[in-house]
């Protein structure tokens, strides 16, 4: 088979779609030496390992916009059997079998959060028309997303396959056993130091969340729950919120109202190396999201041996399994009590640290790639 993967989001290095594209493409190179691939990229910001059956093609246009790029690049690739967009989009001019990955249908589940007029959607509808008739097969990230798609989109079950994303287990893993830098525990079982970088000089253990400005991430509930912790527990910890929260000034305001502004730290968006350190050194990772197509941060935290409290909404129980404490994302008091329990019970905390990497080991990119190649074969062979 001759397969083209158009991976616009490789340029979005530190976000979920970029991680997905990188992980999938690298794993396909490891597991499939038979089929021929062209990987279409908007730039050369990421260097993949050389493979004899894979051609990496950076393609640039003067009009450097996603909708224009993704419509034009498949037209200049030569004959191929299948085109895959590893994100939700569609081509106007279809030249081969077409597969797309729909990671979630959040705009349909939470229509109140979307602008009434979305220019990208209007442009796509004008160019593509009825994309559901053009797409030969859809891949999605979880059984939860599969149910959402079947409930809300004109897609038949036989055209829809669940393939769980993976994780780079060589990088996202528990810290090496400490020697001279052994971090002692407090009486409640948490690490005594946090090793956080400026702007804070705090050396307290910390509760970590990796999210963003999207209201469905539900970070305000975490801030509120942290503020309700019993004072001895609250005063002994910091709250570290990783992500771009510049559009959420109310989070800082709420932290100030609750009297935890000096303990609430906003490091911004961090690179993978720093993110892994934060996972490894956190006393607790909390992910209170109301909706996820998959929930990669939960998997990353578990792989790094961090105790996890996760929302029980949408796909997150599929990811967490029995390796995390699950809570109702809208139950502030319940979340606060769960945090208190994990931060105060070193037996529970240690158990979660052990369960996490075992659970995460079930989600490998090589498995993802093998299942994706099987879908390619099924679609091409009809």
User: pLDDT of 185-233, one tens digit each?
Assistant: 443 444 434 455 544 456 799 999 999 899 999 999 999 999 999 999 9
**Taking the alpha carbons of 169, 144, 139, 40 in that order, is the dihedral positive or negative?**
negative
Same fold, 2-166+364-381 and 206-360: yes
CA 381 from chain centre, in angstroms, equals 32
Highest mean pLDDT among 12-26, 69-83, 132-146: 132-146
* Gap between the Cα atoms of 258 and 263, Å rounded: 11
Confirm if 123 and 108 have CB atoms less than 8 A apart.
no
Please list the helix, strand and coil fractions of the chain in percent, rounded to the nearest 5, in that order: 40, 15, 40
Residue 236 pLDDT greater than 70, yes or no? yes
Domain 2-166+364-381 has what CATH class?
Answer: alpha beta
Cα-based angle 5, 6, 10 (whole degrees, multiple of 5): 110
What pLDDT band is residue 16 in, cutting at 50, 70 and 90? confident
Q: Is 346 exposed, middle or buried (0-12, 13-18, 19+ CB in 10 A)?
A: middle
The model's pLDDT over 293-307, given as tens digits with 9 standing for 90+, comes to: 999 999 999 999 999
Domain map (residue ranges) of the chain: 2-166+364-381, 206-360
pLDDT higher than threshold 90 for residue 66: no
Residue 258 reports pLDDT greater than 90: yes
- Do the beta carbons of residue 315 and residue 294 sit within 8 Å? yes
d(CA 191, CA 182): 10
- For 123-150, how does the pLDDT look when each residue is reduced to its tens digit (9 = 90+)? 667 778 889 999 999 999 999 999 999 9
pLDDT at site 293: 96
pLDDT mean across residues, the chain: 90
pLDDT given at position 190? 43
User: What is the CA angle 188-190-195, rounded to 5?
Assistant: 150
pLDDT, position 189: 42
The mean pLDDT of 234-249, rounded to a whole number, is: 95
Q: Provide φ and ψ at 122, rounded to 5°.
A: -65, -45
Cα 270 from Cα 285, distance rounded (Å)? 16
Q: Quick check: 189 and 299 in contact, CB under 8 A? A: no
pLDDT at 45: 79
Homologous superfamily (CATH) for 206-360:
Glycogen Phosphorylase B; (3.40.50.2000)
What angle, 0 to 180 degrees and rounded to 10, lies between the N-to-C axes of helices 296-303 and 272-281? 60
Q: At 69, is the pLDDT very low, low, confident or very high (cuts 50, 70, 90)? A: confident
Inform me whether the pLDDT recorded for 311 exceeds 50. yes
Distance, CA of 357 to CA of 323 (rounded, Å) = 9
Element (H, E) at 309: strand 308-311
> pLDDT confidence of 177, banded at 50, 70, 90?
low
For position 200, what pLDDT does the model report?
46
Q: What are phi and psi of 238, to 5 degrees?
A: -100, 165
- CA dist 376 and 339 (Å) reads 44
pLDDT per position as a tens digit, 315-343: 999 999 999 999 999 999 999 999 999 99
Antiparallel, parallel or unpaired: β 206-210 and 160-162: unpaired
Cβ–Cβ under 8 Å, residues 53 and 32: yes
Q: What's the CA gap between 281 and 291, in Å, rounded?
A: 26
Tell the burial category of 127 from Cβ atoms under 10 Å away from its Cβ (0-12, 13-18, 19+).
middle
* C-alpha distance from residue 18 to each of 284, 315, 321, 341 (Å): 26, 20, 25, 35
**Chain Cα centroid distance, residue 207:** 19
pTM of the predicted protein model:
0.90
Distance from C-alpha of 288 to C-alpha of 327, rounded to nearest angstrom: 8
pLDDT of res. 198: 45
d(CA 257, CA 259): 5
Rounded to an integer, what is the distance from CA 258 to the centroid of its chain?
30
């Amino acid at each position: 088979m001759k397969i083209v993967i158009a991976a616009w989001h490789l340029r979005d290095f530190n976000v979920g779609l970029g991680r997905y594209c990188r992980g999938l493409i690298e794993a396909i190179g490891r597991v499939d030496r038979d089929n021929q691939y062209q990987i279409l990229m908007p730039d050369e910001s990421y260097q993949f390992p050389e493979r004899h059956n894979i051609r990496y093609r950076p393609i640039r246009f003067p009009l450097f916009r996603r909708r224009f790029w993704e419509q034009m690049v498949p037209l200049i690739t030569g004959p191929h059997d299948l085109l895959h967009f590893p994100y939700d989009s569609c081509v106007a001019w279809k030249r081969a079998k077409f597969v797309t990955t729909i990671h979630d249908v959040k705009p349909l589940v939470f229509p109140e959060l979307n602008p009434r007029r979305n220019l990208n959607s209007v442009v796509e509808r004008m160019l593509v028309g009825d994309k559901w008739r053009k797409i030969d097969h859809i891949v999605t990230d979880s059984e939860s997303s599969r149910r959402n798609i079947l409930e809300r989109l004109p897609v038949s079950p036989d055209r829809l396959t669940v393939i769980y994303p993976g994780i780079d287990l060589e990088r996202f893993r528990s810290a090496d056993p400490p020697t001279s830098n052994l971090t002692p525990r407090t009486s409640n079982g948490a690490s005594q130091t946090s090793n956080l970088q400026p702007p804070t000089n705090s050396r307290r253990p910390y509760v970590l969340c990796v999210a963003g400005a999207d209201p469905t991430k539900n970070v305000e509930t975490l801030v509120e729950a942290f503020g309700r912790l019993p004072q001895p527990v609250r005063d002994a910890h910091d709250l570290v919120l990783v992500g771009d929260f510049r559009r959420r000034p109310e989070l800082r305001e709420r932290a100030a109202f609750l009297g935890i502004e000096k303990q609430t730290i906003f490091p911004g968006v961090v690179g993978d190396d720093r993110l892994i350190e934060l996972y490894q050194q956190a006393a607790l990772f909390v992910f209170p999201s109301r909706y996820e197509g998959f929930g990669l941060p939960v998997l990353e935290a578990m792989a790094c041996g961090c105790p996890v409290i996760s929302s029980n909404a949408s796909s997150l129980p599929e990811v967490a399994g029995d390796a995390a404490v699950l809570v109702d994302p809208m139950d502030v008091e319940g979340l606060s009590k769960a945090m208190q329990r994990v931060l105060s019970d070193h037996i529970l905390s240690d158990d979660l640290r052990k369960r996490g990497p075992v659970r995460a080991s079930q989600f490998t990119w090589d498995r993802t790639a093998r299942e994706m190649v099987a879908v390619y074969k099924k679609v091409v062979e009809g």
